[in-house]
Structure 1
Amino acid sequence: MAQLIEDCLRIIFTELKNDSNSLYSCVLVNRYWCRIAIPILWKNPYNHKNISNKNKFYYTIINLLPTSSKQYLLDNNIDLPFITLSNQPLLLFNYISFSSQISSKFINNITKSLLKNEFDLDKYKKLENEIYKLFINNCKFIKDFCWETTQSLHKYSGASTCFSQLCVLTIDLQFVNSEALFGMSKICQNIEDLKVHYYSSKRDSLGLIKFLDIQRNLQSLYLHFKIKSVRKQSIQLSEVIKRKSVTLKKLIIGPTITLISPEFLPSLINLQHLEFTNSMYMSKKEIVEMQEWENYLSISSLPNLRYIKTGLCLPLRNDYKLIENSHGNIREINICRRRFNNKRDPLHSEKLIEVIPKHCPKVESLTIDAELKNLSGIREILLNCSQLKKIKLSSCNNKWRLIICDELLDILIKFSQNNLYSFSFNRWKFSVDGLKSFFENWRNKHPIIFNLYPDLGSFTIEHQVVMKKYVDEGVIKKTNCLEHTLLETNFRPQ
């Protein structure tokens, strides 16, 4: 019976894992509750935003430092509050040992706070080093880590145990150099999900390439370029991605894809998720490099592709060919240029709308550009994509303020299949009567999500009254049209 009670308490306390103040109150009830609740409270306390006394939290962690670390800090004139050199344990638990994560941001915050924001880089690095030692020596087999420090983590005595089972890793190359990556590659060889942030062209990428190459089961890769890379390193990076193609299922590159060679694209035969964006402004050299992307897009066949998204200002014309060569497995498409009219090619939209009904019978979510002249293509999509659940259409027509687009609503009523339940329209204009007719004809079907993102002048109080009527009657399950009283705050072009 006692075991049953403990199991029940553990379930209750787990439900409170994101409410640190309530969970802390449970700790104070009695020793029995405390023993059960403490491991849950300390499993990942670093993301809690409602900790009422952060200083007390920080002091608890500092007093877990070994005596040698405390003495080292005192010898370097780092005098921390409430720290004691006593060998007698002042704390009932080794709280750090319950932690499932190490947070670089948290360690940065605690270091700055304990130094009282004193700008002394030497003291900062020394204190940060001792805190990292504490966590790495006590945290076992963490799964997820965001690497945002210049400390040589791989050299710590507990690193081989702490990081050996790491499978989700974010690397910020502002802080992490090739030497550190070489060292960590000897410990971490089973990363499944890797995110890399580039910020400086001066950083040597050889360590990253080595780190990538040694991973045995890399399934997801996100490359975030904020700099102009060295072309040689760009090619090496492309080659290592090619070597990971057997396991790689998800690839995201941005915000500038021209900083990497696209030679890897045809090799991604097992890729399921592809997402890439590009900066709004490109040099002549980047325009030439973009042509290289166009060429590889036209010859690449990704038979297992399920999701594709291209950025709002990406001037690609051949991304639709990935859909054409996808073997009919795509579930979600998000391709539009709606925010940047000068980057939008009407012919591209026509081709995209033409290939979707032919090659995407399993698509469930669709976000594309469309105009009035594309309505027959929209009809074909509705007829042939029987699993479609969500559709979002964006218009870039400069004359859209003058055009009532009720014909689109008529097509949606006539040809939408039973799965479709979510509609979003960006910069489309409908009449009040057109909306009434649409919702009346939809009344006997399932409730829908209906979102509008029009210009300020195209959605009136009369439109709002209509929307509220059908929300109240249950025809519309959810809409953005009634979220604010002032339309100006809600209906801006997206």
Structure 2
Amino acid sequence: MSHITEDCLKIIINELQYDLSSLYSCILVNRHWCRIAIPILWKNPSSLKGFSPSKLHNMIIFLLPKSSKKFLSDNIPELSLTEISDNKPLFNYISFFTQISPDLINDLSYALFYDDNKGYNYVGVRYKTYLLDQEIYKLFINNCKGLKLFYCKTSHPLFKYQGATTCFSQLCTLKINLMFVPTGNLFDIIQICQNIKHLELKNCDKDIENLVDFINIQRNLQSLCIDFLPLSDIIMQKASTLKKFILRPFTRLLSPKILTSLINLQYLELISDEKFVLIFGGSTMKDWDEYISIASFPNLQYLKIYFDTDLSITKDYMLIEKSNGNIFEINILKENFHDPIYTKKLIITISKCCPKIKRLTINIEPENFEDLKEIFLNCTQLEMMCFSLDSEEHNGDKLLEIILDYSPETLREYSFIEIENSIFTTEGLEKFFENWKKRKPPLIFDIINNPW
């Protein structure tokens, strides 16, 4: 192992990036291994199980430059940061971070300013927290080179800080929470970030200056997730490059015409919260069904549709028909929706058009239990199924019998969402588990009571 090439060693150690104890062991082998393992360990240390938050917080404070420590000590003397040693560490750990988490920075501020017994320690804590967050963000932005992922959830003018261009110019994934980010900051982001591939916009509850320009300027936008704001025109302009599209939670506020433009889509998620739609209005379910019936996503691999009302689209099975058999996962749930005819169409379509499907979540009616046999017989790569059962008339024991007799060997994980009382009898469950033992494969069996 002492003669293994550095490139090979990097590949091997990178496979251990989520194994904290193994990375520690690699660091202790020798200096050469240490130089390779440290950057991997510090890519995103807060995500590692077993990593000490307090040690991470202390390291970040330790790495603050003298100017920041003096500035914070002058404005927040209670922190006494000037007493912290300025000895240079062996590594510039901050430079190895591949993402800046607002949760990490918020947790650090909370740890410094909050006392379990007294609550927040200092008068004017909000202002002091703002100053501390500012200096920590400056530390990260001035040291991190070529971040790939960033979640912007602050009013700080981050994209004006020293080093921002180097830090953010290679961003691939950007999440922006517009509840916290001032509209003026979007203009600064436009100047640096023009090659975003995955964009998520949260809390778009009004027309926001520069937002359309920001989306439009992206050269290779492949994934777009939008909360609320109707941006049909700009989405249609970017539709040819989009591979992933998520719209939540106000589906009807967007024109369904966009569906016909998303020709290269691989991932589609439509989530509708009818409480807000009743307030704001929007396209009707008939409109959505019309465009769904003519839309075609031949590369579609993932489909999620969720409606929390008895008003729902009913032509979604037609998207599955035109997916060229590429779908791996379907998650279609509709609250208070009872239509055995629709459910039969959906089940038959899945059984005929989804030979590669591995994970399936659907509503199921008692009238459709027998139809499930078609899925079990034709979808032989299934690994997980989740059924939403919201009728008191369900004969759950019959469903268990069909699963035992017809489900493929690959299918070992089952979840049942029960809206009413339990649909299974004790005898039915005992018989099912006893007979499953003969199949030998391990079983994951979960009953979820009324998640809504």
Q: TM-score, normalised by structure 2?
A: 0.82
1:98 paired with 2:55, answer no
Q: What is the rounded CA distance, in whole Å, between the counterparts of 1:120 and 1:127 in structure 2?
A: 10
SS in 1 for 2:304: strand
SS in 2 for 1:277: strand
Give the match for residue 480 of structure 1: 445
SS in 2 for 1:480: strand
Q: What is the rounded CA distance, in whole Å, between the counterparts of 1:359 and 1:57 in structure 2?
A: 50
Give the match for residue 227 of structure 2: 224
Does the 8 Å CA contact 1:426/1:454 hold for their aligned counterparts?
Answer: no
Pair 1:398–1:130, CA change in 2 (3 A): same
1:212 paired with 2:204, answer no
- Deviates most, 373-382 or 14-23: 14-23
Give the match for residue 41 of structure 2: 41
Q: What is the rounded CA distance, in whole Å, between the counterparts of 1:180 and 1:115 in structure 2?
A: 27
Residue 249 of structure 1 and its aligned partner are, at CA, apart by 1.0
Residue identity (%): 43
Pair 1:372–1:3, CA change in 2 (3 A): same
Give the match for residue 304 of structure 2: 309
How do residues 16-95 of structure 1 correspond to structure 2 at under 5 angstroms? 17-18=17-18, 35=35, 37-48=37-48, 50-52=50-52, 54=54, 56-84=55-83, 89-95=87-93
Residue 79 of structure 1 and its aligned partner are, at CA, apart by 5.0
* Structure of higher CA gyration radius: 1
Pair 1:82–1:7, CA change in 2 (3 A): farther
Pair 1:2–1:82, CA change in 2 (3 A): farther
The unaligned stretches of length 5 or more in structure 1 are: 429-452, 482-489
How do residues 137-148 of structure 1 correspond to structure 2 at under 5 angstroms? 137-148=142-153
Does the 8 Å CA contact 2:400/2:432 hold for their aligned counterparts?
Answer: no
How do residues 56-455 of structure 1 correspond to structure 2 at under 5 angstroms? 56-84=55-83, 89-116=87-114, 117=120, 118=122, 119-198=124-203, 201-202=205-206, 204-225=207-228, 229=229, 234=230, 237-281=231-275, 282-283=277-278, 286=281, 289-313=284-308, 315-337=312-334, 340-341=335-336, 343-375=337-369, 377-382=371-376, 385=379, 390-400=384-394, 403=395, 406=398, 409=401, 413=405, 421-422=411-412, 424=414, 426=416, 455=421
Residue 111 of structure 1 and its aligned partner are, at CA, apart by 2.9
Pair 1:317–1:3, CA change in 2 (3 A): same
Amino acid at match of 2:260: P
Residue 420 of structure 1 and its aligned partner are, at CA, apart by 5.0
Amino acid at match of 2:449: R
Q: What is the rounded CA distance, in whole Å, between the counterparts of 1:145 and 1:295 in structure 2?
A: 37
Pair 1:289–1:39, CA change in 2 (3 A): same
Pair 1:407–1:59, CA change in 2 (3 A): closer
- Deviates most, 211-220 or 10-19: 10-19
Give the match for residue 117 of structure 2: none
SS in 1 for 2:245: strand
Amino acid at match of 1:309: K
- Deviates most, 6-15 or 41-50: 6-15
Aligned residue pairs total: 441
SS in 1 for 2:442: strand
Q: What is the rounded CA distance, in whole Å, between the counterparts of 1:61 and 1:312 in structure 2?
A: 44
Amino acid at match of 2:75: N
Does the 8 Å CA contact 1:454/1:491 hold for their aligned counterparts?
Answer: no
Does the 8 Å CA contact 1:78/1:123 hold for their aligned counterparts?
Answer: no
Residue by residue over 1:14-48, the C-alpha shift from the partner in whole angstroms, topping out at 9 and shown as x without a partner, is 56654657756876788677555533432322334
Give the match for residue 459 of structure 1: 425
Amino acid at match of 1:177: P
Residue 147 of structure 1 and its aligned partner are, at CA, apart by 1.2
Q: What is the rounded CA distance, in whole Å, between the counterparts of 2:382 and 2:347 in structure 1?
A: 14
Amino acid at match of 1:458: F
Residue 191 of structure 1 and its aligned partner are, at CA, apart by 1.5
Does the 8 Å CA contact 2:244/2:267 hold for their aligned counterparts?
Answer: yes
Q: What is the rounded CA distance, in whole Å, between the counterparts of 2:369 and 2:215 in structure 1?
A: 46
SS in 2 for 1:263: helix
SS in 2 for 1:63: helix
Q: What is the rounded CA distance, in whole Å, between the counterparts of 1:364 and 1:29 in structure 2?
A: 42
Does the 8 Å CA contact 2:416/2:448 hold for their aligned counterparts?
Answer: no
Does the 8 Å CA contact 2:27/2:38 hold for their aligned counterparts?
Answer: yes
Residue by residue over 1:205-228, the C-alpha shift from the partner in whole angstroms, topping out at 9 and shown as x without a partner, is 232222211111211222234xxx
Residue by residue over 1:112-135, the C-alpha shift from the partner in whole angstroms, topping out at 9 and shown as x without a partner, is 433454343332222221211111
Q: What is the rounded CA distance, in whole Å, between the counterparts of 1:300 and 1:427 in structure 2?
A: 31
Q: What is the rounded CA distance, in whole Å, between the counterparts of 2:165 and 2:257 in structure 1?
A: 35
Does the 8 Å CA contact 2:417/2:448 hold for their aligned counterparts?
Answer: no
Amino acid at match of 1:480: F
SS in 1 for 2:166: helix
SS in 2 for 1:205: coil
Q: What is the rounded CA distance, in whole Å, between the counterparts of 1:270 and 1:30 in structure 2?
A: 49
Root-mean-square deviation (CA, aligned residues, Å) is 3.7
SS in 2 for 1:477: coil
Give the match for residue 492 of structure 1: 449
